[in-house]
Amino acid sequence: MIYICLNAVAVIVGSLIGAIAKKGIREKYITVMNTAMGLAALVLGANVAMENMRSSNYPVLFIVCLSIGGLIGTALRFDQRMERATSRAGKNSDISQGLTTAILFCCVGTLSMMGPVLSALKGDNTYLLTAATLNLVTMIVIASSYGIWMALAAVFVFLWQSAFFFIAKISETFISDELITETSIVGGVLIAAAGLGVMDIKDCKTINLLPALLMPIIFLFIRNLFA
């Protein structure tokens, strides 16, 4: 758990550094960084989704997960709640968009999902240390565009990694390559969607789609109950 906390701290520190750096960066350079970050998210997300889709046993599961997750997020009005929570900072949609992108970058991927599992089962924290380093660098870049509010992503990173840690502790057999694969496909699509939003091509309301990340876990849990 210490190394999971370290990941959350890395997000906060990276956000602080990025927010401080933002004050010395002219607007046109921030715009260029946003474009670069959007392109990176689009390419990275598409690559993660396509790479894992080859190993999927349920090639249409991600469609169901996105649909159900989107309905849940919309019904719970995640986007509106986020905007209200950040209303004092101004530019609500930008902060919401940046925070969603930060959460996806830091939570989706083998390091952030398998890291807690290996830590729980084998005491191996290599993945978590690597994830913390990447989170630090990632948040410096994101916070330099969107500001100090990006530090809130630390809460989501802590909860996400803790969930995988405790699930692995409780049920060693439930965390599998299959779970990582299906979750990564959904996450890859969401990262690509966030990239479209960052570049102002299409606002996909990605924050409303975040519950989709939990759908593969729920699906595989139910399947294992009746297997």
pLDDT band at 93 (very low <50, low <70, confident <90, very high): low
pLDDT band at 185 (very low <50, low <70, confident <90, very high): very high
pLDDT band at 227 (very low <50, low <70, confident <90, very high): low
Please give the pLDDT value at position 156.
92
What percent of the chain lies above the pLDDT cut of 70? 95
- What is the spatial distance between Cα 193 and Cα 188, in angstroms, rounded to a whole number? 9
Span 181-207, average pLDDT:
88
- What is the spatial distance between Cα 191 and Cα 109, in angstroms, rounded to a whole number? 11
**Is the distance from CB of 216 to CB of 75 less than 8 angstroms?**
no
Tokens of 220: 């595989």
pLDDT band at 56 (very low <50, low <70, confident <90, very high): very high
Top-confidence residue, 89 or 202: 202
Does 91 have pLDDT greater than 60? no
Domain boundaries, the chain: 2-225
Between 61-70, 89-98, 120-129, 189-198, the lowest mean confidence (pLDDT) is in 89-98
3-state secondary structure the chain: CHHHHHHHHHHHHHHHHHHHHHCCCCHHHHHHHHHHHHHHHHHHHHHHHHHHHCCCCCCCHHHHHHHHHHHHHHHCCHHHHHHHHCHHHCCHHHHHHHHHHHHHHHHCCHHHHHHHHHHHHHCCCHHHHHHHHHHHHHHHHHHHHHCHHHHHHHHHHHHHHHHHHHHHHHCCCCCCHHHHHHHHHHHHHHHHHHHHHHCCCCCCCHHHHHHHHHHHHHHHHHHHHCC
Task: Convert the pLDDT of each residue in 95-139 to its tens digit.
Answer: 888 888 899 889 887 788 889 988 988 888 998 999 999 899 889
Please give the pLDDT value at position 179.
86
Please give the pLDDT value at position 87.
62
- What is the spatial distance between Cα 89 and Cα 97, in angstroms, rounded to a whole number? 14
Q: What is the mean pLDDT of the chain?
A: 86
Tokens of 63: 């469609």
Please give the pLDDT value at position 172.
67
Top-confidence residue, 88 or 103: 103
What's the whole-model pTM score?
0.79
Does 157 have pLDDT greater than 90? yes
